[in-house]
């Protein structure tokens, strides 16, 4: 990769798989359970977190030498809160229906452990460029899992993808529904998201034995 040095590229690629914030660090689970019943909501959530974490990391990194360490948590909170309000207002203005589905969970990005975790663990000790890459990488790692979970939950739970019916019409009984297939109501419930995330963790650790803790 010509654009990024090998070390910089790792900042983005590591969180995608072997250091994934959800499946390895097990952070940000609450939102992963709450909003992944629909693929669209998962995607918007992923984009929002990429925006907040990417910019937030840069801002914190720029201020890292002037933040008194006693009040750093408060400063970090203010930065996230400001960015989240921007996201919330943009969603309300341009995608009102979606912002209703996401409801409180957009606001709850503020308390997403991944964001505070990256601020504390990375942005406070690294330059803006590296912090930006780290933020984008971790948010992407979060988003990938969200989209995988959302894909399976929407496909089996509602028989649609991005709201478009792909398995036929359940009421008119076309497609798969004609031969007796039915949507799995359990898939839409949050417990199933936990189980799907669990299965992803299981597959990932079977493929890469180094990830298994004792």
Q: Which of residues 163-182 bind another protein (CB under 8 A)?
A: 180-182
Residue 159 near residue 167, CB atoms below 8 Å: yes
- How many Cβ atoms sit within 10 Å of the Cβ of residue 142? 27
Task: Return d(Cα 204, Cα 91) in angstroms, integer.
Answer: 33
Applying CB under 8 A, among 85, 92, 186, 203 the residue interacting with another protein is: 186
Alpha carbon separation from 152 to 4, 40, 157, 161, 194 (Å, rounded): 34, 12, 8, 9, 12
Alpha carbon separation from 142 to 9, 31, 103, 197 (Å, rounded): 17, 10, 19, 12
Residue 197 near residue 22, CB atoms below 8 Å: yes
Shortest Cβ distance from residue 185 to another protein (Å)?
Answer: 5
Applying CB under 8 A, among 187, 193, 197, 200 the residue interacting with another protein is: 187
Task: Tell me how many residues contact another protein (CB under 8 A).
Answer: 11
- In the beta sheet, which residues pair with residue 164? 161
- Show the site string, 85-124: x = touches another protein by CB under 8 A, - = not: ----------------------------------------
73 is a contact residue toward another protein (CB under 8 A): no
- Show the site string, 188-207: x = touches another protein by CB under 8 A, - = not: -x-----x--x---x-----
Shortest Cβ distance from residue 21 to another protein (Å)?
Answer: 22
Vertex 102 angle, CA 153 and 46, to 5°: 70
CB closer to another protein, 108 vs 167: 167
Residues near another protein (CB under 8 A) = 180-182, 184-187, 189, 195, 198, 202
């Amino acid at each position: 990769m010509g654009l990024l040095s090998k070390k910089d590229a790792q900042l983005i690629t590591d969180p995608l798989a072997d250091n994934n914030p959800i499946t390895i660090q097990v952070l940000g689970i609450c939102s992963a359970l709450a909003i992944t019943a629909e693929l669209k909501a998962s995607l918007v959530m992923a984009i929002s977190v990429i925006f907040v974490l990417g910019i937030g990391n840069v801002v914190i990194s720029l201020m890292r030498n002037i933040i008194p360490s006693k009040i750093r948590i408060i400063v970090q909170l203010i930065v996230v809160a400001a960015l989240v309000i921007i996201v919330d207002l943009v969603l309300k203005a341009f995608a009102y229906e979606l912002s209703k589905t996401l409801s409180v969970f957009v606001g709850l990005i503020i308390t997403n452990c991944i964001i505070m975790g990256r601020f504390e663990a990375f942005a406070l000790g690294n330059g803006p460029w590296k912090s930006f890459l780290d933020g984008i990488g971790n948010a992407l790692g979060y988003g990938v899992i969200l989209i995988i979970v959302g894909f399976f939950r929407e496909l089996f739970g509602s028989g649609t993808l991005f709201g478009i019916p792909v398995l036929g019409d359940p009421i008119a009984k076309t497609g798969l529904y004609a031969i007796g297939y039915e949507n799995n109501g359990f898939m839409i419930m949050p417990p199933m998201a936990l189980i799907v995330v669990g299965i992803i963790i299981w597959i990932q650790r079977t493929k890469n034995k180094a990830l298994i803790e004792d």
